C-alpha cells in the first residue's frame, strides 16, 4: 500500500481543506488563517474547534481536497446553525 505524505507548505492562506493528519485519523476540516515565513496558523474544526501553529515542513498524511467557496458557504450554514441553540430559520415567519 502506497503511503502519501504532504507538507503544510502546500496549503494556501484563506482556504479550507479536508485532510487526514495521520493514516488512521478521521477526516478533518482545517483553514489556513495566517502564514509566516516558516509557519502556518491553522484553525481545526473539530469539536471543540482548535487553533495551532504548524511548521510548513510538518507533514500531513493526505490533503483530500480544497473546498470551493460554495461548499464552504453550505458547510458554514450547517456548522453555525448546529452550534447555536438559539439559531432559528426566519423563512417560516408570517
Q: Answer yes or no: pTM beyond 0.85.
A: no
Each residue's pLDDT tens digit, 52-88: 999 999 999 999 999 999 999 999 888 877 765 554 5
Q: How far apart are CA 57 and CA 70, in angstroms?
A: 30
* Domain spans in the chain, listed from the N-terminal domain onward: 6-85
CB neighbours of residue 31 within 10 Å:
19
Average pLDDT value for residue range 19-41: 95
| Cell numbers describing residue 41 | 496558523
Query: Does pLDDT of 94 surpass 50?
Result: no
From residue 47, how far is each of 37, 44, 50, 51 by CA, in Å? 29, 9, 8, 12
Amino acid at each position: 500500500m502506497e503511503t502519501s505524505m504532504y507538507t503544510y507548505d502546500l496549503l494556501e492562506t484563506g482556504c479550507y481543506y479536508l485532510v487526514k493528519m495521520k493514516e488512521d485519523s478521521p477526516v478533518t476540516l482545517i483553514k489556513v488563517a495566517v502564514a509566516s515565513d516558516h509557519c502556518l496558523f491553522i484553525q481545526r474544526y473539530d469539536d471543540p474547534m482548535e487553533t495551532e501553529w504548524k511548521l510548513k515542513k510538518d507533514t500531513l498524511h493526505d490533503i483530500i481536497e480544497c473546498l470551493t467557496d460554495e461548499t464552504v458557504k453550505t458547510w458554514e450554514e450547517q456548522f453555525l446553525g448546529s452550534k447555536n441553540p438559539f439559531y432559528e430559520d426566519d423563512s417560516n415567519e408570517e
